[in-house]
């Protein structure tokens, strides 16, 4: 099997892992989003700690990388809290699609903070994608729009975290970054969970443990996938989460996205596919020019 195909399979496994995680988060019922986030990340912290101990790496990374690790963890924690809130209040596939806007926000943040000039086709893809979100959000002046805004914010903070990860590059091992983030969020959220703690049934507790387990599967799946193949070549396959989420919504929750949401999905997928094809074309052209 080629490395590219290995990367695609790992990415599909990762997408399924995150989709199942979202299902268990929703199944856990009416618990505070912060409480759900803590359990999700506490499980990830324990599993990633095993990797850190096995490979005898630093628990909290190198001193010179602390500001980036802290910023990545802060942004990532906020992103998950907003995402879990959206999961609880929206059709699962709507929440997932809004969260998957993060690559478009990453283009914007890379231009603003990393001074990476976006290509014209990237700007066009961002504009089209945001037009697609309007079909999902269906803007209105009421409290009903709040969960959709939470979904958008989850993408904004996730994009911020990914932008910081790009700055980190290979300066830290991937399992150290995962452990740092998971441990940080657990410690930061613990006082709030104690303050606003909602009693859980055994079933809810098990659901949250399973959510954390499948989130870790997703986390490591996507990290390993990008070690086999560049993100430019395979990243579009990660958007299979929306398909998985839609199937889970219908089967488990008897919730189906409405027609306008489906139109929004198609528009956003089209923007992604366009950007994916253009990225590959640009890369091939660059290699051809270099060879000449």
CA end-to-end distance (rounded Å), the chain: 30
pLDDT at 231: 64
* CB 148 within 8 Å of CB 136: yes
Alpha helices in the chain (DSSP H): 3-27, 33-54, 66-89, 92-99, 102-113, 120-137, 146-168, 174-195, 202-228, 231-234, 240-253, 259-291
Give the domain range for residue 182.
3-291
Please tell me the predicted confidence (pLDDT) of residue 203.
95
Q: How confident is the model at residue 141, as a pLDDT?
A: 63
- Per-residue model confidence (pLDDT) at position 233: 65
Tell me the per-residue pLDDT of 39-61, one tens digit each, with 9 for 90 and over.
Answer: 889 998 998 899 899 988 888 98
Split into its structural domains, the chain has a count of: 1
pTM of the model: 0.83
User: Measured between alpha carbons, how far is 94 from 103 in angstroms, rounded to an integer?
Assistant: 17
Q: Which residues of the chain register pLDDT less than 70?
A: 1, 140-142, 230-233, 292
The two three-digit tokens of residue 64, written as one number: 């010179």
124: Cβ contacts below 8 Å, ≥ 6 apart: 274
Q: Which of 266, 270, 257, 275 is nearest to 95 (CA)?
A: 257
Of the candidates 227, 235, 218, 284, the residue with the CA atom closest to the CA atom of residue 125 = 235
| pLDDT for position 230 | 65
Taking only the tens place, the pLDDT of each residue in 204-237 is 999 999 999 999 888 888 777 877 776 666 777 7
Query: Which of 19, 161, 183 has its CA nearest to residue 78?
Result: 161
Name the burial class of residue 202, with classes exposed (0-12), middle (13-18) and buried (19+) by CB atoms within 10 angstroms of its CB.
Answer: exposed
């Amino acid at each position: 099997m080629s490395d590219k195909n290995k990367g695609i399979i790992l990415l599909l496994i990762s997408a399924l892992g995150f989709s199942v995680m979202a299902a268990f988060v929703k199944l856990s019922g009416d618990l505070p989003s912060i409480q759900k986030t803590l359990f999700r990340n506490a499980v990830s912290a324990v599993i990633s700690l095993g990797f850190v101990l096995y490979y005898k790496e630093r628990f909290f990374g190198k001193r010179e990388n602390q500001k980036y690790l802290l910023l990545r963890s802060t942004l990532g924690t906020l992103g998950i809290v907003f995402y879990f809130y959206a999961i609880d209040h929206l059709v699962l596939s709507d929440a997932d699609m809004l969260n998957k806007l993060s690559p478009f926000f990453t283009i914007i943040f890379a231009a603003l903070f990393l001074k990476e000039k976006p290509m014209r086709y990237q700007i066009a893809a961002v504009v089209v994608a945001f037009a697609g979100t309007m079909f999902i959000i269906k803007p209105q002046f009421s409290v009903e729009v709040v969960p959709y805004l939470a979904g958008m914010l989850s993408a904004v903070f996730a994009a911020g975290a990914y932008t910081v990860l790009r700055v980190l590059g290979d300066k830290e091992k991937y399992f150290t970054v995962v452990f740092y983030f998971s441990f940080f969020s657990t410690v930061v959220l613990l006082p709030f969970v104690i303050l606003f703690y909602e009693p859980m049934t055994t079933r809810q507790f098990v659901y949250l443990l399973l959510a954390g387990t499948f989130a870790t599967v997703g986390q490591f799946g996507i990290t390993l996938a990008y070690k086999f193949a560049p993100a430019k070549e395979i990243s579009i396959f990660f958007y299979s989460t929306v398909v998985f989420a839609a199937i889970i919504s219908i089967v488990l929750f008897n919730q189906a996205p409405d027609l306008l949401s489906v139109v929004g999905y198609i528009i956003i997928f089209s923007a992604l596919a366009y950007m994916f094809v253009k990225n590959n074309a640009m890369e091939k052209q660059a290699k051809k020019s270099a060879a000449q």
